[in-house]
Structure 1
Amino acid sequence: MAEELTELQEHAEHAKENPELAPVSLTMAIVAVLVAVATLLGHRAHTEEVVLQALASDRWAYYQSQNIRRHVDELFLDLSSVQTTTNAAALAKLRDKYSQEATRYRDNRDETEAEARKLEAEVATERNRADRFDLSEVFLEIGLVITSITLLTGRKVYWGMGAAFAAVGVVLACTAWLIH
């Protein structure tokens, strides 16, 4: 970013010498700002993707822990059914407790799985959005470089080409917000 600002300052000084290139320098300044915005939005989208991925992983870990607990409770029920004891009432009370726990874990399983899958879908959406911002940044950077060739050659065709690439970059950045 600092390099781009230094480059823009040099181009501004160059434009003072040749007023015909002032619009080119202005275009470059605008595109440089758009590059910075696209970069920032891309970084934020990637950060959101990472946060959502961590949340999804946490939900899947919770889902697994519920299944493990349910299996342990069911194992206790199986083992206690063949257990002989002198205190049948206490064993029946324990069996009832573990049966309720196993049922609770079984009932919560579908809800937890749905939450994890929903978070995974949000991760995919955010990844697509971040990729779109990254592609936008590439087109804006290319537009900035091609536009700067105008200052070196004095040929305005490069200005138009650079502006076209920048326009594609802007459209891509705008479409990133449409991804749901």
Structure 2
Amino acid sequence: MAMGVAAKHSWISVADYLEGEKIAEVRHEYVNGEVFAMVGTTKAHNRIALNLALLLRNGLAGKPCRVYMENIKVYIKTAFEERFYYPDLHVECRPFTDNSYYSERPKLIIEVLSDSTERDDRSDKFYAYRRLASLEEYVLVAQDEQKVEVYRRSDGWDATVYGPEDSVRLGSVGAELALAAIYA
């Protein structure tokens, strides 16, 4: 899989996965009992994610929402599957998940695209994230050009694409972010 290499080929329980992640030196994502090691990021990826986190944190000051960066997981559970992903950023608003290590009700998820993760971010992860009843917007941010795609539940998950001169409207959290600031 593009998201990483399977750490084990045998099934692992959610409880064992969560305990292992507390002490792991490398982050892993969990998909239905399989665990996948995460790949590293570039400096450009890191700068863009940090800019987004700061812009969102400042824009959400005083609102009942919290911004989380790449080390906090999002938990997706349905009747048929369980997954834990580490999005680059996500925003959870009240009521907050009653767990210190993951969120269950994000309103907004942002992934900064890279060559190694873009396919999964656009397919498997997007498909899984849409199962979260709380999710209102899913954002994909290019790191090699000034381009942001926003997928909104209210628009049937069709994309709105923003370019260099635009500001990204994030209705889920009431924020507007200039692309120039995202890519500063």
TM-score by length of 2: 0.21
Which structure has greater strand proportion? 2
Which structure has greater helix proportion? 1
Higher relative contact order (CA 8 A, sep 6+): 1
TM-score by length of 1: 0.21
